[in-house]
Structure 1
Amino acid sequence: MKIDWVALGSVFGVSLVATVALVGLFTLGIVSLSKQQSGTQTAGSGVLARTGAYACFALCAAAVSYGIYLIVT
């Protein structure tokens, strides 16, 4: 049995980058919602923060959906 260490390292690297990116994006959405709810921003920037948070959550959902699609097909 032969292990392809280059392929294994590549999968590990891509998985690590994807995980850190998704966690960071979700955290950015949570922070945006919490700042919007704390009331420290003006009305216009509150709407922008909420929109940005929803965009972050939508991107996370799209990435997870794409991953499930790749696993199923």
Structure 2
Amino acid sequence: MHIKWNALAQTAGVSFGVTVAVVTVFALGILALSRREAALTAREDGTAQAGGGRLVLAGAYACFAVCAAAVAYGLVLIAAP
């Protein structure tokens, strides 16, 4: 039995990189949602600054869509014959 250490290291490196990327994008989506919530609260209090609440929400949805696409792609890779 021969283990291809180079291929194993590449697989581990790519897996780690993709995991960090997906977690970072998800965290950015959560951050965008919390910033939007803070902006809505400030608007109700009358201390709001001019800002794009819809743009922030679209960015959050885009982050979550990227995460969902990465998960779906992973499932396709697992289920592929």
Please give the TM-score of this superposition, normalised by the length of structure 1. 0.92
Matched, 1:62 2:38: no
Give the gaps of 5 or more residues in structure 2. Answer: 43-47
For 1:23, the equivalent position in structure 2 comes to 23
Equivalences for 1:1-73 in 2 at 5 Å?
A: 1-39=1-39, 42=49, 44-73=51-80
When Rg is computed on C-alpha atoms for both structures, the one with the higher figure is: 2
Give the gaps of 5 or more residues in structure 1. Answer: none
Q: Which moved further from structure 2: 42-51 or 16-25? A: 42-51
Distance 2:63 2:49 in 1: 21
What percent identity do the matched residue pairs reach?
Answer: 52
Please give the TM-score of this superposition, normalised by the length of structure 2. 0.83
Moved over 4 A (4+): 40-44
The 1:42/1:70 distance shift into structure 2, 3 A limit, reads farther
The 1:44/1:19 distance shift into structure 2, 3 A limit, reads same
Deviations 1:13-33 (A, max 9, x none): 100110000000000000000
Q: Which moved further from structure 2: 41-50 or 62-71? A: 41-50
